[in-house]
């Protein structure tokens, strides 16, 4: 429902928040977080985590090693690039429509700190 929160902390976990202003968080390896309601936020912090926020003004944040993020037409993404030791080398944010970011496309951050379409 609205203002709900979902969390997945184990490996391969999935968390989904579908109501308005919901928050979904996945912290384990290969976790997935999805927020589909208006103003929702999805975050994935684990190894190769994926976050998507497809609702109005949603934000998807993936700051784990080799993370991926996707947002809807009015959303935004935040991504980090970590080296093999897990240290944050780059972190970058963008609204959809800026910096070449397209709605409904998965992105990761390159070693140079550039947004790139993510490979699965």
pLDDT tens digits along 12-56: 999 999 889 999 999 989 999 999 999 999 999 999 999 999 999
pLDDT, tens digit (0-9, with 9 covering 90-100), for 49-70: 999 999 999 999 999 999 999 9
In this prediction the pTM is 0.92
Per DSSP bridges, beta strands 76-82 and 107-109 are unpaired
Tell me the sheet residues that pair with 43: 25, 61
Residue 54: its H or E element: none
């Amino acid at each position: 429902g609205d203002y709900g929160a979902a969390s997945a902390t184990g490996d391969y976990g999935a968390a989904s928040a579908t109501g308005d202003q919901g928050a979904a968080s996945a912290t384990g390896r290969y976790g997935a977080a999805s927020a589909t309601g208006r103003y929702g936020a999805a975050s994935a912090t684990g190894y190769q985590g994926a976050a998507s926020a497809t609702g109005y003004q949603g934000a998807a944040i993936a700051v784990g090693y080799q993370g991926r993020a996707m947002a809807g037409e009015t959303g935004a993404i935040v991504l980090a690039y970590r080296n093999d030791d897990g240290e944050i080398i780059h972190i970058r944010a963008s609204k959809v429509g800026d910096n070449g970011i397209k709605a409904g496309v998965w992105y990761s951050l390159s070693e140079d700190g550039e947004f790139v379409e993510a490979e699965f």
